[in-house]
Amino acid sequence: MRLKTYVVNNMTEAIPMIKRDLGPDALILNTKQIKTGGYLGFFKKEKLEVIAAVEPTPSEPKRNAESIKPQIQAVEKKMDEDIQVNENESVMPGDKQEEHLDELMSELKSLKQFMFQAIDEDRLPEALKALNKKFNAQGITEEVQSEIMAKLMLVLEKQPNTSGEKLQTLAKREIIKLINAHKKRPSRRKVDIICFIGPTGVGKTTTIAKIAADYLLSEDKKVGLITSDTYRIAAVEQLKTYAGILNIPIRVVESSADLSAAMDDLSDCDIILMDTAGRNYQQKQYIDDLKQMLPDSKKIQINLVLSLTSKYEDMTKIIDNFETIVMDQLILTKKDETSSSGAILNLIYHYSIPIRYIANGQSVPDDILTVTPELIANFVLEEDENV
């Protein structure tokens, strides 16, 4: 199968290019929206990535994993050369260079995915079988797996006697590199209010208490609390209990007018944390209700709280449904209730939303971790689970 990736404005633009390159029998395997170009990570343009393929003719040999390796190495070499040439000679404007490198990166991802898919699990090198089994158990998507496994396969090609322990170290290094290549850093802009949204039962209220305690005890900030979760009396009482323990003010609101008054009451606070009602955010009507409640302020930060005990497919549906609300950060909870951490890596790879915290227990304020690439790699590889 011949595989080719296109980065275009729309499908109408892609079709003639696919027919020209691959012929009328080509199949479109995958499409997704990506962002390219821009400057220093800003002003990126929406593009469509299209992966198309065609079966080889009888006279054209089928591509296999072995034939893909030189192509992967050639694309990686081309990327390194282009970066070096442009840095030395400035032959390409910044946005054009980034768009060009995005296209090469898309081609590289497609080649790696094809290479990994071309090998049956039984034919994987012995040293990779256990790692592949671990990745599957962690729920890591095939696209993310192929990025890591293809790289390790190329390493084993040059160093066939690599030990299992050494391979584990190499895998950790590749996971960290992948995270650094895809993660987006949290915004440093000053905010007055941090709003926590998310489905029912993900632990928003407890998480807010942990973060409030951190601001209060570690950063010496004056903190105020607001809750609009009047659907559950227990949630209001729980947050009031935490507010009493921490000796910080709290306001309960039921409308946007109440919210404005509460923000005025808490105007002397350095930061305000706002709890919202947990709803089924796979239904967009609840998102519309939430938008009407949120304060109209540029200094608001929206944190979406998701549970790691949820299926990854459900997480993605919730995130996608929030397309009309700009989410600044993700917070993942209930790490202590699942042995699967693959969703963390999947979210970093597929979404440009920073993950700030991972909550790993009920204890306030202790059971919350600041996310680092090393922490995620440890979780995925089941190392130092109790950090």
Residue 26: count of CB within 10 angstroms of its CB: 18
- At 110 the three-state DSSP class reads helix
Report which of 328, 375, 372, 373 is spatially closest to residue 186, judged by C-alpha positions.
Answer: 328
Which amino acid type is present at position 296?
D
Q: Are 368 and 377 in contact (CB under 8 A)?
A: no
Q: Are 367 and 361 in contact (CB under 8 A)?
A: yes
The dotted CATH code for 193-380 is 3.40.50.300
Task: Kindly report, residue by residue over 175-191, the tens digit of the pLDDT.
Answer: 999 899 887 776 777 88
Tell me the average pLDDT across 217-237.
Answer: 84
pLDDT at 379: 93
Which amino acid type is present at position 352?
S
pLDDT at 225: 94
Q: Under 8 Å CB-to-CB from 190, ≥6 apart: which residues?
A: 299
Class of residue 46 by CB neighbours under 10 A (exposed 0-12, middle 13-18, buried 19+)? exposed
Any idea where the domains of the chain sit in the sequence? 1-118, 193-380
Measured at the alpha carbon of residue 106, what is the angle toward residues 102 and 111, in degrees to the nearest 5?
145
Tell me the average pLDDT across 295-300.
Answer: 74
pLDDT at 155: 80
Cα atoms in the Cβ-side hemisphere of radius 13 Å centred on 107: 19
Under the banding of pLDDT at 50, 70 and 90, the label for residue 78 is low
Measured at the alpha carbon of residue 273, what is the angle toward residues 269 and 277, in degrees to the nearest 5?
145
Q: Are 208 and 314 in contact (CB under 8 A)?
A: no
Under the banding of pLDDT at 50, 70 and 90, the label for residue 370 is very high
Class of residue 52 by CB neighbours under 10 A (exposed 0-12, middle 13-18, buried 19+)? buried
Residue 213 has pLDDT above 90, yes or no: yes
User: pTM for this one?
Assistant: 0.70
Tell me the average pLDDT across 353-368.
Answer: 90
Q: How far is CA 180 from CA 126, 136, 349, in A?
A: 28, 22, 10
Which amino acid type is present at position 152?
L
What is the Cα–Cα distance from 347 to 361, expressed in whole angstroms?
21
Least-confidence region, from 58-62, 139-143, 180-184, 220-224: 58-62
State the average pLDDT for the chain: 79
Task: Kindly report, residue by residue over 246-296, the tens digit of the pLDDT.
Answer: 999 999 988 888 888 999 999 999 999 999 887 777 677 777 778 777 777
Residue 91 has pLDDT above 50, yes or no: no
Tokens (6 digits) for 323: 């397309």
Q: Are 127 and 369 in contact (CB under 8 A)?
A: no
Residue 359 has pLDDT above 60, yes or no: yes
Measured at the alpha carbon of residue 347, what is the angle toward residues 343 and 351, in degrees to the nearest 5?
165
Query: Within its chain, how far is the Cα of 278 from the centroid?
Result: 22
More confidently predicted of 355 and 43: 355
Residue carrying the six token digits 């042995």: 339
More confidently predicted of 85 and 148: 148
Tokens (6 digits) for 214: 């951190």
Expressed in percent and rounded to 5, the helix, strand and coil fractions of the chain are: 50, 20, 35
Q: How far is CA 289 from CA 101, 217, 281, in A?
A: 41, 34, 11
Q: Are 151 and 68 in contact (CB under 8 A)?
A: no
Under the banding of pLDDT at 50, 70 and 90, the label for residue 1 is low
More confidently predicted of 67 and 292: 292
Tokens (6 digits) for 255: 């409308």
Tokens (6 digits) for 52: 């198309």
pLDDT at 120: 54
Q: Under 8 Å CB-to-CB from 142, ≥6 apart: which residues?
A: 113, 116, 117
Residue 196 has pLDDT above 90, yes or no: yes
Share of the chain above pLDDT 90, in %: 30
Tell me the average pLDDT across 315-325.
Answer: 84
Query: Within its chain, how far is the Cα of 100 from the centroid?
Result: 23
Under the banding of pLDDT at 50, 70 and 90, the label for residue 387 is very low
Tell me the average pLDDT across 22-38.
Answer: 73
Q: Are 281 and 174 in contact (CB under 8 A)?
A: no
More confidently predicted of 302 and 121: 302
User: Cα-atom radius of gyration of the chain, to the nearest Å?
Assistant: 24
